[in-house]
Structure 1
Amino acid sequence: MTALRVIGLAAACLAITPAFALDQGDYRWNAFGTVGVTYLGGEEDGRNYGINGQTTDTWRGDQLSKFGTQLSYGLTDSLNATAQLTAKAEQDSWEANLEWAYLAWQANDQLLLRAGRLRTPAYMYSETLDVGFSYPWLRLPDEVYGQIQLSNYEGVDVVYSLPLSFATLSVQAVAGQAKDRDYYLFDEFYDTDWDNLLGASLSLASNNYGTLRVAYNQAKLTIDQPLLGIADSKGSFLSVGYQYDDGSWISANEWTQRTIDGPLSPDQNAFYLMGGHRFGDFLPHVTYAQLDEEKGARQSSWTLGLNYSLAPNVTLKGEYKQVETENNFEGMFVPSGREVFTQSIPNFDGEIISLGIDFVF
């Protein structure tokens, strides 16, 4: 089985679609995970980087390492139950997480309805966010995937898939809320509520030319952090992505726009462009990523990666990322309390090395 087919199968099994419905009494069980370490160089001692500040100037495994399992069971021929559990670190402690817990009713070959705890469909890789084997990087591009700190919500979604002669068109609509979620800022966690969450996405998966995806989500956002001034503020997130993989050449690209009401929450635009080519079991790849805020603030990075297929379901990955900020923008670096208080945030320049193994069963 080629690496392309295994990746497609892994993603499909871990993101329930009408094509993988179960008969009554049948079940499907998957396990997945990442064992990895990462290191930040080029910055002064004690600096942190990343969505939870877990990348530092010492080798650490809690930024990348995670483990998960997913079980789906056919209650009837058209009604399935699915639960997904993960174990991963938040800052300095490991926690178990119920990422998914939902019922799925397949009304017909094209229409699927789900209700319960579901993945927030903000990004191109949202459905397999914790399944590192489903994407080429060891760490997803921080400039894009560090913008939204919400991976799931409680509510409903509807997925309609329409087979075409040259592609499959899928339309998804979501509605729900997410209460008491953690939001990481200034090296602390704050309680956050996402109310009136609404979203829609459209995906066109062609037979020969890759997959194009467009998604829009919005919610009323409240963060229990007085300095931000975010209370019942409207937030919106737009994502446009394209991915291609013919077994030899591979490309993944995504552009996002984040808007939150409030003078202390500037708009953000971000994108990444990735390309690679397989040489037998090896996959070298390169990625350029950029995150922009208002008034010229910017983080940009280049990532060089090399993957090696140890087995059809196990991949060894290594990456080198050169990242820098401009115009006194912290980007994904964690500023100190003094820098925040005095508004004297410097420009940052770091080199991030990551090594690890992704697997799926």
Structure 2
Amino acid sequence: MMKMKLLPLAICLASAPAFALEQGEYRLNYFGSVGITHLGGEDQGRSYGVSGQTTDSWRGDQLSKFGAQLTYGLTDTLGVTLQATAKPLQDEWQANLEWAYLSWQANDQLMVRAGRLRSPVYMYSESLDVGFSYPWLRLPDEVYSQVQLTNYEGADVVYTLPLSYGSVTFQVAAGQAKNRDYFAYDDLFSIDYGKLFGGNVSLATNDYGTFRVGYVEADISTTIDGVVNAFGTPTYRQLLELKKDKGKFTSIGYQYDNGTWLTANEWTTRVTENDNNASIDSFYLMGGRRFGDFLAHVTYAQLDENEGRQNSWTLGLNYNIAPTVVLKTEYKRVDTSGGYDGVFVRGKQELYENELFERSGGLAGVPARNYDGDIISVGVDFVF
């Protein structure tokens, strides 16, 4: 029960405040995660994850992160919010200014924000770095690897309408995100999101959980390229080029938690013009039960692309060490089919060898293969 009572605090650390602070008041909070993870199975030397940080060595840079959030009341209705994090990108730790915005609380229902804001992509986008706010140590990769953008520069409007059985919240956002990092084929590239527009509706009920529907689109520009060894000769290859091509992302989510039983579920689809893919569909289904200070949960997740499918089962057991500190342990079994790499990392050279095998009718190169792995993760999430 204690964890459920503290969830509003955890979510408040990384979401629009429900009310403005009075002039001169401030709120300073800290949050973070410390964890280690290991990839086992047949694919020794293989890496996994949205930035390839899960390997066959015990590593903490996939799961560990630290953050602080400051909210200050400039007037009784106008405030400023800053959120900074420190987390690794590939093999280096980086400091990030995730949020830096002004907010105007017009009334109890309407808030307008402008500056650097969280991109409203996923159900857990607002609390993405606050691991205490969700049951997993690592969010389901099949869904949360689809869009690597975490923030943008622009504005949004948030309107909450009270109802007799709960409340409904509308959010509309617009802006852009330039020169962001994008991880692909074991390398980092620059990517721009122009004319970003999104909106979502969340219905929070008193007894039946929270329903959310969201949509985001943007004009995407990036070039993914590199040098491969083609029959002993270094050869430049352009793998993908997008020039203000439209990307669209739709999500539907549902959460429920009555203090004993809980569930979280999310379905997404992504479509990008001229990226040689049809829609990329993914979802997860999670159910769990609390036993005193323990939480046991199980998750099935699936990711489908043109090339094939990745699916996984995750078993987790959490223990509340203190009211604001939770120990989490997880075992995740991941499999792919159809010669598909899924969230496993395939390098540019391997991709070239796979394509060469197809073009030559099997006379050269190597065939695309399936991947599998057992991922063990242990860590602690906290908020203060």
| 1:280 is aligned to 2:292 | yes
CA distance in 1, matches of 2:377, 2:182: 24
Q: How does 1:74-93 map to 2 (within 5 A)?
A: 74-93=73-92
Q: How does 1:191-230 map to 2 (within 5 A)?
A: 191-225=190-224, 226-230=238-242
CA distance in 1, matches of 2:372, 2:257: 32
CA distance in 2, matches of 1:358, 1:56: 21
| 1:346 is aligned to 2:345 | no
Percent sequence identity over aligned pairs: 60
Q: How does 1:237-316 map to 2 (within 5 A)?
A: 237-294=249-306, 297-316=308-327
Residues 115-174 of structure 1: CA deviation (Å, up to 9, x unaligned): 000000100000000000000000000000000010000000000000000010000000
Q: Which amino acid aligns with 1:86?
A: T
Q: Which residue of 2 aligns with 1:131?
A: 130
The correspondence for 1:235, drawn from 243, 247, 260, is: 247
Q: How does 1:28-67 map to 2 (within 5 A)?
A: 28-67=27-66
The correspondence for 2:339, drawn from 307, 317, 328, is: 328
Q: Which residue of 1 aligns with 2:147?
A: 148
Unaligned runs of 5+ in 2: 225-237, 355-366
Larger Rg: 2
> Secondary structure of 2:137's partner?
coil
Residues 309-351 of structure 1: CA deviation (Å, up to 9, x unaligned): 0011000000000001010111000013332002233100100
Mean CA deviation greater in 256-265 or 86-95: 256-265
| 1:356 is aligned to 2:379 | yes
> Secondary structure of 1:143's partner?
helix
TM-score (norm 2): 0.92
| 1:263 to partner: Cα distance | 4.5
Q: Which amino acid aligns with 2:349?
A: R
Aligned residue pairs: how many?
359
CA distance in 2, matches of 1:169, 1:12: 17
Q: Which residue of 2 aligns with 1:171?
A: 170
Q: Which residue of 2 aligns with 1:6?
A: 6
Q: Which residue of 1 aligns with 2:229?
A: none
CA distance in 2, matches of 1:320, 1:142: 13
Unaligned runs of 5+ in 1: none
CA distance in 1, matches of 2:68, 2:156: 22
Residues 74-108 of structure 1: CA deviation (Å, up to 9, x unaligned): 00000010000000000000000000000000011
